[in-house]
Amino acid sequence: MSDFSNFHLRFWGVRGSIACSRDQASRYGSNTPCLEVRCGEHLIIFDAGTGIVNLGSALSCKGPVDTHIYLSHTHLDHICGLPFFKPLYKGRNKIRLSAGNLKPDYSLKEVLNQMMAPPLFPVSTNIFKADVSYRDFVAGEPHEPWPGIRVSTCPLNHPNGATGYRLDYRNNSICYVTDTEHQEGILDTNLLRFIEGADVFIYDSTYTDQEYTRFKGFGHSTWQEGIKLAEAANVKKLVIFHHDPEHDDKFMDQVARDAENARPGTIVACEGMTLIASSD
């Protein structure tokens, strides 16, 4: 049997919209999206919400950082941690930032320059000392950050656009699909093909079905829809993600129970949780 322990992921931020206070989220976590994935010796990061701040501190205690950061999109909750990501300020580090579907109106570098500019921020991106590069792409394009690692992309249904990612490494796969809104009564056939047979499927489950009726058009989905997709696409493990900041621990405990009853093995993402991607 192959050793899959060198293909694993860790959640550094699991909330959507805005970070919430610790008394609301003592067990599930308070930070906005950030996911660390290790493919052998290589590091890939998905999203740069407030969770990336703690990840950066952890990385700074180790050797030089060489990473790709893939952004689902550039709404503030997914990029606001970047100015506080310590590896950006060390010259020995190499950091490649990528985002899809910003062109022709914006480029990724322009968006980050606007965020880190007066009157919103005291210093500009010029202060970064690391070797930083910026890449814009169209969702649907494949990427190979390192030999043997494949990152596939797909467009998501979200205001201003968003990108879903599938990472394949050593015959195992992780799908990161956040900030997308489903169409009621219809499963997205493109998304089903994209996540087919994934070992880990991380899905935007901001709302419950009962709540969703009040938030149509906000660009988010439900954990019940995630279960339908996971079942139809033969996904091995569904991970509920992008929790509403209003959902406290008690609420999330109930979601976890309901989801386990609906599809055994489904888990709710918690800050600090580590999963091994394995076909076992």
* 225 within domain boundaries: yes
Round to whole Å and give the CA distance between 108 and 98. 7
Q: How far is CA 76 from the centre of its chain?
A: 13
Round to whole Å and give the CA distance between 199 and 201. 7
* 244 within domain boundaries: yes
Give the CATH number of the domain where residue 30 resides: 3.60.15.10
Round to whole Å and give the CA distance between 159 and 154. 15
Round to whole Å and give the CA distance between 106 and 213. 32
- Give yes or no for a contact between 12 and 269, defined as CB atoms under 8 angstroms apart: no
pLDDT for 13 equals 98
Round to whole Å and give the CA distance between 241 and 255. 11
pLDDT digits (tens, 9 = 90+) for 52-102: 999 999 999 888 999 999 999 999 999 999 999 999 999 999 999 999 988
* 1 within domain boundaries: no
Q: Helices 223-232 and 249-262 meet at what angle, rounded to 10? A: 30
pLDDT for 277 equals 82
Residue ranges of the alpha helices (H) in the chain? Answer: 51-60, 108-115, 189-195, 209-212, 223-232, 249-262
pLDDT for 273 equals 97
Round to whole Å and give the CA distance between 121 and 127. 12
* 181 within domain boundaries: yes
Taking phi over 0 as left and psi of -120 to 50 as alpha, with beta for the rest, 37 belongs to: beta
* 15 within domain boundaries: yes
* 191 within domain boundaries: yes
Round to whole Å and give the CA distance between 76 and 251. 25
Residues spanned by the domain of 45: 7-137+145-276
* 13 within domain boundaries: yes
CB-side exposure of 142: number of CA atoms within 13 Å? 8
pLDDT digits (tens, 9 = 90+) for 237-265: 999 999 999 999 999 999 999 999 999 99
pLDDT for 279 equals 43
pLDDT digits (tens, 9 = 90+) for 136-167: 999 999 999 999 999 999 999 999 999 999 99
Strand partners, 42: 39
Domains contained in the chain, number: 1
* 62 within domain boundaries: yes
